[in-house]
Amino acid sequence: MRRLTKRVVKEVLKRRIGLEVLELVELLRKHKDLSEFKLSEMLNEDINSVRNKLYRLQQFNLIGFTKKKDEARGWYVYFWHLKPEMFYHLYRKMLDDELKKLNSEIEQNSSVELYTCPNRCVAVTSEDALLCDYTCPECGSLLRHTDNSKLLNSLVKKRDRIIKTMDKLE
């Protein structure tokens, strides 16, 4: 099974569950099969709060358990472990969503030429700018062609970074 990196854990938790569960997940990453009692002790945290965190992780199918009967007390104890493949699955999906969003932003920004008023009244397409004689319909100032190459550049760079990250995951 693939080793789960802290970076992937952090990215997934940050966007899906919340970083307050990071410490607990890090414990499970380092020690296999911990009971909620052991976790509560190691985190120095209330058992109900630990259970709540485990529940939230379980909702995303990021953890699993094995149960063993405590012969002395006669009840079952749950031992928890991480599911690395699920972390990677969610991570890949997050990157994929981001990639789609960036692609559509890049497309929008490369196909449209914008003209804007220096007083920030309007932003119009080149057709509309031509129709109003390149003057602002609100204040009459001369409209300026807006250079969005910087924005486009940074979007493309972001996209390249995501593609690289995804390649490394394969």
Positive or negative, the Cα torsion across 34, 37, 40, 41?
A: negative
41 vs 3: CA distance, rounded Å: 26
Residues 6+ apart with CB under 8 A from 33: 66, 79, 80, 81
Binding positions for Zn ion, 104-143, rule CB under 5 A: 117, 119, 121, 136, 138-139, 141
Nearer to Zn ion, 121 or 166 (CB): 121
Name 48's Cβ contacts closer than 8 Å, sequence gap at least 6: none
Q: Work out how close the CB of 123 gets to Zn ion at its nearest, in angstroms, rounded to a whole number.
A: 10
Q: Between residues 112 and 142, which has the closer beta carbon with respect to Zn ion? A: 142
With CB under 5 A as the rule, give the number of residues binding Zn ion. 7
Please identify, using beta-carbon distances, which residue of 64 and 137 lies nearer to Zn ion.
137
Site residues (vs Zn ion, CB under 5 A): 117, 119, 121, 136, 138-139, 141
